[in-house]
Amino acid sequence: MPPLRNLVEDAQKALEASIMYYKGQAVGTIAARDRDALALNYDQCFVRDFVSSALVFLTTGREEIVRNFLEITLTLQSQERRMDCFKPGLGLMPASFKVELRGGGEVLIADFGEHAIARVTPIDSCLWWMILLRAYVKATGDLALANHSDFQHGMRLILRLCLETRFDMYPTLLVPDGSFMIDRRMGVYGYPLEIQALFYAALRAAEELLLPNDLDGIHTAVIERLGHLAFHMRSYYWLDMQRLSEIYHYKGEEFGISAVNKFNIYASSIPAWFINWLPDEGGYFAGNIGPSLIDFRFFTLGNLMSVVTSLSTKEQSSNILTLVENRWDDLVGQMPMKICFPAVEDRDWQLFTGFDPKNVPWSYHNGGNWPVLLWFLVAAAVKTGNIQLAENAIKLTELRLGKDLFPEYYDGKNGRLIGKEARRYQTWSIAAFLLSKQLIANPEHLKLITFEEDDRAIACEF
């Protein structure tokens, strides 16, 4: 048996050591503290990574760190209307920030992707920020923070960016490649699931947190969009045996409003692996839907966040967990949990990743196993009453995570090898473990991140 108490203590110490300070106050956690690897930007506080740490802090009486984080990231938000293409769009939140000494004082330096590899835009940051603000309010009851005019303004800027300025007419959000946790080219541009699930959660957070005066119509737009988005995701992204059969019999080239095959999906684009892999019981949301496109890959964060936030219906949520159970070796393997399944290989790898040597099949973003995803699995499992599944996943993590020094990711079809270029002491791997233990010990904490079931889905002529 692994020394459990020590593992929790080790993780707590490691999380403590990752805390970043600004003017004497704890404001975030750095991404990784691996002395043997090049820091690159892993010595910065990433907005998406911090959410895992923040939820641990909120469940252990350390709310002030989360409050400080929310306040300083708000000051970093892009708040001016800009026509300069090299400046971040109004409302955007940075991917990460660091504290630097300049002219004898500390300053905060934000990165909106302009320093990141391939200059990717962190669209998920502003969505995570709203989700975290709502979690903070839930944990502390400090509604005054969200009601403050700066916060109301910050939220409205994010919502405008998502609701007003756009090129298309889908209820989903159109984004470039690599705009979320998968921040490299992986064929995840257009309407990737993870962004849609976070968008849905951010809208639900906004619905709760926006003050009722609605002079600009944003509050009404949020509620309307929630209904359309939920309908769109639940109907068009859903994949199970029945949907497979429908898609298999789709006719192409249908014109006009009565088209059944709205996205003009050609049945011959259904990959053979999917037909063989999809179990009789269970289902999941597709990775992406667009013109003549269904990305059949299973993306973990998007699917589990759909369960957690009630973007999926009760029945769909329970089917997603059934799928995880039925495909345990593929999706969980030896380290919960795979970021996406299956990996893209051969010519697909060349085309999707641009020959990316870090994203070779079954490594990193291309089918690697990421310990951070444990807490999403545990949260989804506890929410749907699958306690045993959650416990099994935590047990697997306990076997290796501490011994392997909390790696960022694992490689191989079943996640057996420490990732080739994985950082050790990766903060969100550490935080995910601690948070999972908290969630299972006290499921009350789930309410920080979950939303009530929602049956307001509205069909839209499309």
How many of the chain's residues bind ligand GLC (CB under 6 A)? 6
> Taking CB under 6 A as the criterion, which residues in 172-211 touch ligand GLC?
181, 183
Pairing of strands 417-418, 340-341: unpaired
181 vs 373 by CB, closer to ligand GLC: 181
53 vs 317 by CB, closer to ligand GLC: 53
CB of 173 to ligand GLC, least distance (A): 18
Is the distance from CB of 440 to CB of 446 less than 8 angstroms? no
Q: Which of 14, 18, 48, 159 binds ligand GLC (CB under 6 A)?
A: 48
Kindly state the tokens that stand for 457: 């889905």
Per CB under 6 A, 46 contacts ligand GLC: yes
111 vs 183 by CB, closer to ligand GLC: 183
Stretch that binds ligand GLC, among 43-51, 228-236, 377-385, 394-402 (CB under 6 A): 43-51
CB of 389 to ligand GLC, least distance (A): 25
49 vs 111 by CB, closer to ligand GLC: 49
Nearest to ligand GLC by Cβ — which residue? 31
Q: Which of 49, 111, 398, 411 binds ligand GLC (CB under 6 A)?
A: 49
SS3 string, 266-292, reads: CHHHCCHHHHHHCCCCCCEECCEEECC
Helix (H, G, I), strand (E, B) or coil at 418: strand
CB of 88 to ligand GLC, least distance (A): 17
User: End-to-end alpha-carbon separation of the chain, Å?
Assistant: 56
CB of 181 to ligand GLC, least distance (A): 4
Q: How far apart are CA 436 and CA 441, in angstroms?
A: 8
Looking at residue 318, its amino acid is: S
Q: How far apart are CA 16 and CA 10, in angstroms?
A: 10
196 vs 312 by CB, closer to ligand GLC: 196
CB of 374 to ligand GLC, least distance (A): 15
Stretch that binds ligand GLC, among 45-53, 160-168, 259-267, 451-459 (CB under 6 A): 45-53
CA 241 → CA 149, 222, 443, distances in Å? 49, 33, 32
CB of 43 to ligand GLC, least distance (A): 10
The candidate with the shortest Cα–Cα distance to 282, out of 338, 322, 336, is 322
Output the furthest CA–CA distance in the chain (Å, rounded): 68
Query: Which strand (E) or helix (H) includes residue 108?
Result: strand 105-111
Q: ω before 337 within 30° of 0 (cis)?
A: yes
Q: DSSP letter at 338? A: B
CB of 379 to ligand GLC, least distance (A): 18
CB of 182 to ligand GLC, least distance (A): 6
20 vs 31 by CB, closer to ligand GLC: 31
CB of 98 to ligand GLC, least distance (A): 12
Per CB under 6 A, 111 contacts ligand GLC: no
Helix (H, G, I), strand (E, B) or coil at 236: helix
Concatenating the DSSP letter of every residue in 109-154 gives EEESSSSSGGG---HHHHHHHHHHHHHHHHHH--HHHHHSHHHHHH
CB of 46 to ligand GLC, least distance (A): 4
For residues 23 to 42, the per-residue mask of contacts with ligand GLC, x marking binding by CB under 6 A and - elsewhere, is --------x-----------
389 vs 432 by CB, closer to ligand GLC: 432
48 vs 437 by CB, closer to ligand GLC: 48
368 vs 412 by CB, closer to ligand GLC: 368
CB of 433 to ligand GLC, least distance (A): 15
- Count the Cβ atoms, other than its own, within 10 Å of residue 410: 28
- Count the Cβ atoms, other than its own, within 10 Å of residue 416: 14
Per CB under 6 A, 66 contacts ligand GLC: no
Q: How far apart are CA 51 and CA 125, in angstroms?
A: 10
57 vs 425 by CB, closer to ligand GLC: 425
Concatenating the DSSP letter of every residue in 37-78 gives S--TTTTSEEHHHHHHHHHHHHHTT-HHHHHHHHHHHHHHS-
181 vs 337 by CB, closer to ligand GLC: 181
Kindly state the tokens that stand for 402: 């501490």
At residue 381, φ and ψ (nearest 5 deg) are -70, -45
Question: Can you give the binding site for ligand GLC, defined by CB under 6 A?
Answer: 31, 46, 48-49, 181, 183
